[in-house]
Amino acid sequence: MNIYQYPQKSDWAGIIRRPVLEKKNLRATITEVFEKVKNDGDSALQYYTSKFDGVSLDSFKVSQEEIEKASNEVSDELKAAIQHAKKNIETFHRSQEEETKKIETVPGVECWRESRGIEKVGIYIPGGTAPLFSTVLMLAIPAKLADCKQIVLCSPANKEGAIDPAILYAAQLCGITEMFKIGGSQAIAAMSLGTETVPKVYKIFGPGNQYVTAAKELATELGLAIDMPAGPSEVLLIADQQAVPEFCAADLLSQAEHGADSQVVFISTDETVFKETLLELEGQLSQLPRKELAAKAIENSRFILMESLDEAFELSNCYAPEHLILAIANPEIWTGKIRNAGSVFLGNYACESAGDYASGTNHTLPTNGFAKNYSGVSLDSFVRKVTFQKLSEKGIQNLGKTIEIMAEAEGLFAHKNAVSVRLKSLES
Amino acid sequence: MNIYQYPQKSDWAGIIRRPVLEKKNLRATITEVFEKVKNDGDSALQYYTSKFDGVSLDSFKVSQEEIEKASNEVSDELKAAIQHAKKNIETFHRSQEEETKKIETVPGVECWRESRGIEKVGIYIPGGTAPLFSTVLMLAIPAKLADCKQIVLCSPANKEGAIDPAILYAAQLCGITEMFKIGGSQAIAAMSLGTETVPKVYKIFGPGNQYVTAAKELATELGLAIDMPAGPSEVLLIADQQAVPEFCAADLLSQAEHGADSQVVFISTDETVFKETLLELEGQLSQLPRKELAAKAIENSRFILMESLDEAFELSNCYAPEHLILAIANPEIWTGKIRNAGSVFLGNYACESAGDYASGTNHTLPTNGFAKNYSGVSLDSFVRKVTFQKLSEKGIQNLGKTIEIMAEAEGLFAHKNAVSVRLKSLES
């Protein structure tokens, strides 16, 4: 744990420096996987699934039976919770639909844009210790709202050849019909290239380990789009005198438990809150099942005492956190100060887990400082906005001369002529 | 010129196949440029500007004097045209501003999002035969509307050490204050890494040759965002019996004159219009100053006679054109058929040059089939949408149980605990 008391501004850069992600050179490995999947299709997937996941599968496609079985295995309590979260996520993402606004920029010249869902999208859900059914909701719900025609989900099978029932339940609840038991870079390769059973998609979403990340990078070079660059999860919490140390500690730990590389930054303008949060943290940490992971993240965490909220927001903007929690009085009056952040949580009752699961906002957010240049996933991520324009005779007459002059000045005479022939036809 | 009459659906893929872009391996060259710019800063820029552009510059920054001089050199007629275009582009892009909508997903749980301009953006404007001041408008106007704090423009100097006056005039008119006489991959390297005089930015926009494209790719690996992947410009025009062959030919040629690799696709459902457009094309082509370039593009162009508009739209969606012109009766009733396109032009008077210059829509659009997964540049490209949420005591009470159940099912107990401590505190 690194503690800084009223640091000089000149020290800020050092304090908020993120560890440089060691990008292992996986290029050769990933290229080989893509080559093999391209050449051998499903049999390459079989080969890698056996090699990397240690399971031999006759068929990758999750059957209707498996989906029904999964649904029976999920408790009614969890089903109800997932449905509740789904409803909220739907409500918020539906509010992101853009109304078509026809704008008459010049009399007779109408411009507007319309959204179109990306026709084919892929969702990757990692395996591992935690079954990330919440990520299924965060990606499948906006994909459906966006009217994506084909939504493909890949997730690795466990040793028994199955995907966690909660993942399958969430997927079918959201209307996904094509689910495949494929993991790792071979899953990304399959969705990028297409095989006998896995459809090729245009954009791939979802988290994953370094192999998945490297495979998504390679996919972009093949012309696919991806949700955003990857990095470890992070939170920055700003607390003033009215913050509740118990809550602050719990929020910091909920970030820390993601993994040893999770980034945790705590800023307080109040010494008592600062000290008590540190104490609370130790107490709560010892109770956690994932305390080893969380303890490692806390070791690298930064606790900063600062003079003022103005300073705190300035530092936060430099850091550009994925999650920003404002445990301060009247947080709304401070939001104008926020320039760089993924998702912001206001007040003592907006814990990060609310946004992670069920409030309605998306939890796929820019990490590693990417909040400076990327937005989190939203309905926008699943659509393209197509522009339209209509010119009447009057429209081209009003705008024609301007276009002709500009085209000529750029030396593009065919561009000019496309206007001239129309203007001339209207003269007669 | 390739002519297809009523082709079988099985032949479509071959007909609309784009030439595979030969990605020359510029990796080593570009990496060297970035290395040198990183190590030597401005002096590396000097070195490359001398080496690649053949001009020796004492200072890269365009001075106030140079801007004033440029303004004096631009004709009043062109100034008025640029101002007219600017007004329209501003009007349309301002209409893309998103109103903040606070959504109460559950009583006591409010979610919304707010736009924030990307703080530092870079605009690259290529040199060459045509001074692309229109691209300055298309990128600088939304950057300003988005409230980007720092907007940097790079464009190569000509042999006299100057940037085309129309480019400088457009840039200062849009409020850009930092303009640099730097071109090619070294300009992208400078904006990606920063030097003594050129600021490092977070996102880079603008067209360029294969070196610029490769440099933008490398920039993304350094954590920068870019506008979109590059490819040659293209148009697909759908014409029915009421289309005007003279207009159609002019539109196809305005695409063809961009370069020998421009993609031109013409589809007609009417044999007379089809034949007459071919005739018109030959006549108009011979009149063009850039006829050699245009003729090469026309050589590779595709002219397709089809049975029905339904078929035409289906083929168009497979091709996913950057520009789609609908020279058909009642084009509005057909727009619902469009799934993949960058920008759409409706009716006989909406020529592509209107959108290229002055109607208000953006001309930076997805090419090479990227209309399947990318939108064109808009105000959205210059902002990030930050999500916010506020939970009241009632909010966490309404949502808490759901979060607890989901967090526990994912094995994330600290996430659960962040809710539990709050619920507990409210019990007493």
A356 labeled part of a ligand binding site: yes
Pick from B96, B290, B410: CB nearest A131: B410
**Are residues B417 and A288, on separate chains, in Cβ contact within 8 Å?**
yes
Q: How far apart are CA B395 and CA B109, in angstroms?
A: 5
CA distances from A126 to A63, B100, B133, B363 (A): 19, 34, 47, 39
**Are residues B362 and A335, on separate chains, in Cβ contact within 8 Å?**
no
Q: How far apart are CA A163 and CA A155, in angstroms?
A: 7
Give B25's pLDDT tier (boundaries 50, 70, 90).
Answer: confident
What is the reported pLDDT for A128? 76
For chain B, report the end-to-end CA distance as a whole number of angstroms: 81
A263 labeled part of a ligand binding site: no
A427 touches chain B (CB under 8 A): no
SS3 B27: helix
Q: How far apart are CA A325 and CA A344, in angstroms?
A: 6
Catalytic status, residue B322: yes
Residue tagged active-site, from B322, B352, B363, B404: B322
Contact B303, B3 (CB under 8 A): yes
Q: How far apart are CA B192 and CA B124, in angstroms?
A: 12
What is the reported pLDDT for A24? 67
Pick from B361, B369, B405: CB nearest A387: B361
Contact B175, B149 (CB under 8 A): no
The domain locations on chain B are: 27-226, 231-375, 392-427
Query: A2-19+231-360 adopts what CATH topology?
Result: Rossmann fold (3.40.50)
* CA-CA-CA-CA dihedral for A365, B343, B119, B384, to nearest 10: -20
Catalytic status, residue B323: yes
Supply the CATH classification number for the domain A27-100+118-226: 3.40.50.1980
A374 touches chain B (CB under 8 A): yes
A349 labeled part of a ligand binding site: no
A210 labeled part of a ligand binding site: no
Which residues, in sequence order, are bridge partners of residue B295?
none
Contact B204, B107 (CB under 8 A): no
Q: How far apart are CA A406 and CA B78, in angstroms?
A: 7
Q: Nearest-CA residue of chain A relative to B332?
A: A390
List the B383-391 sheet strands across, edge first.
A2-5, A302-305, A263-268, A234-239, A323-327, A343-346, B383-391, B109-117, B103-106
Residue pLDDT, tens place only, A282-337: 999 999 888 888 899 899 899 999 999 999 999 999 999 999 999 999 999 999 99
Percent of chain A with pLDDT over 90: 89
Residue pLDDT, tens place only, B364-375: 999 999 999 999
**Are residues B347 and A390, on separate chains, in Cβ contact within 8 Å?**
yes
Closest alpha carbon to B228 in A298, A240, A385: A385
> Is residue A96 pLDDT above 90, yes or no?
yes
**Are residues B109 and A354, on separate chains, in Cβ contact within 8 Å?**
yes
Residue pLDDT, tens place only, B172-203: 999 998 999 999 999 999 999 999 999 999 99
Residue pLDDT, tens place only, A340-395: 999 999 999 999 999 999 999 999 999 999 999 999 999 999 999 999 999 999 99
Q: How far apart are CA B53 and CA B49, in angstroms?
A: 5
**Are residues A131 and B409, on separate chains, in Cβ contact within 8 Å?**
yes
What is the reported pLDDT for A290? 80
Q: What is the DSSP letter of B360?
A: S
Pick from B166, B361, B384: CB nearest A111: B361
Residue pLDDT, tens place only, A187-219: 999 999 999 999 999 999 999 999 999 999 999
Give B20's pLDDT tier (boundaries 50, 70, 90).
Answer: confident
Residue tagged active-site, from B323, B352, B363, B404: B323
Give B293's pLDDT tier (boundaries 50, 70, 90).
Answer: confident
**Are residues B78 and A372, on separate chains, in Cβ contact within 8 Å?**
no
- ipTM of the complex model: 0.96
Element (H or E) spanning A267, and its range?
strand A263-268
The secondary structure of B203-261 as a DSSP string is EEE----HHHHHHHHHHHHTT-EES------EEEEEE-TT--HHHHHHHHHHHHTT-TT
- Supply the mean pLDDT for chain A: 95
Tokens of B21: 């872009």
Pairing of strands A225-226, A203-205: parallel
Residue pLDDT, tens place only, A151-170: 999 999 998 999 999 999 99
Half-sphere exposure of B99 toward its Cβ, with a 13 Å CA cutoff?
9
> Is residue A10 pLDDT above 80, yes or no?
yes
Element (H or E) spanning A76, and its range?
helix A76-94
Give A235's pLDDT tier (boundaries 50, 70, 90).
Answer: very high
Pick from A361, A369, A390: CB nearest B389: A361
H helix intervals, B320-412: 352-357, 393-409
* Phi, psi dihedrals of residue B419, rounded to the nearest 5°: -85, -45
- Supply the mean pLDDT for chain B: 95
In the stretch 27-56 of chain B, residues with CB closer than 8 A to chain A read: none
Contact A305, A271 (CB under 8 A): yes
In the stretch 238-257 of chain A, residues with CB closer than 8 A to chain B read: 244, 246-247, 250-251, 253-254, 256-257
A93 labeled part of a ligand binding site: no
Work out whether the CA dihedral B393, B398, B399, B402 comes out positive or negative: positive
Tokens of A142: 């906006």
Q: List strand residue ranges (DSSP E) for B94-177, in order.
A: 103-106, 109-117, 120-124, 150-154
* Distance from chain centroid for Cα B346: 20
Give the type of residue at B27: R
A415 labeled part of a ligand binding site: yes
Q: Using an 8 Å CB-CB cutoff, list chain A residues near B257.
A: 412-415
Using only the alpha carbons of chain A, give its radius of gyration: 26
Query: A392-427 adopts what CATH topology?
Result: 1.20.5
Residue pLDDT, tens place only, B130-171: 789 999 999 999 999 999 999 999 999 998 999 999 999 999
What is the reported pLDDT for A365? 98
What is the reported pLDDT for A31? 96
Give B24's pLDDT tier (boundaries 50, 70, 90).
Answer: low
Which residues, in sequence order, are bridge partners of residue B114?
B386
How many A×B Cβ pairs under 8 Å?
413
Residue pLDDT, tens place only, B230-251: 889 999 999 999 999 999 999 9
Closest alpha carbon to B344 in A381, A389, A352, A333: A389
**Are residues A388 and B417, on separate chains, in Cβ contact within 8 Å?**
no
Q: Using an 8 Å CB-CB cutoff, list chain A residues near B406.
A: 78, 81-82, 85, 133-134, 357-358
Pick from B80, B345, B407: CB nearest A389: B345
Q: Using an 8 Å CB-CB cutoff, list chain B residues near A381.
A: none
Class of domain B27-226: alpha beta
Domains A2-19+231-360 and A27-100+118-226 in one fold: yes
SS3 B339: coil
The CATH superfamily of B231-375 is Nitrogenase molybdenum iron protein domain (3.40.50.1980)
Pairing of strands B109-117, B383-391: antiparallel
Q: How far apart are CA A149 and CA A152, in angstroms?
A: 10
The secondary structure of A172-186 as a DSSP string is HHTT--EEE---HHH
Contact A381, A110 (CB under 8 A): no
Residue pLDDT, tens place only, A265-279: 999 999 999 999 999
What is the reported pLDDT for B292? 86
Q: Using an 8 Å CB-CB cutoff, list chain B residues near A332.
A: 390
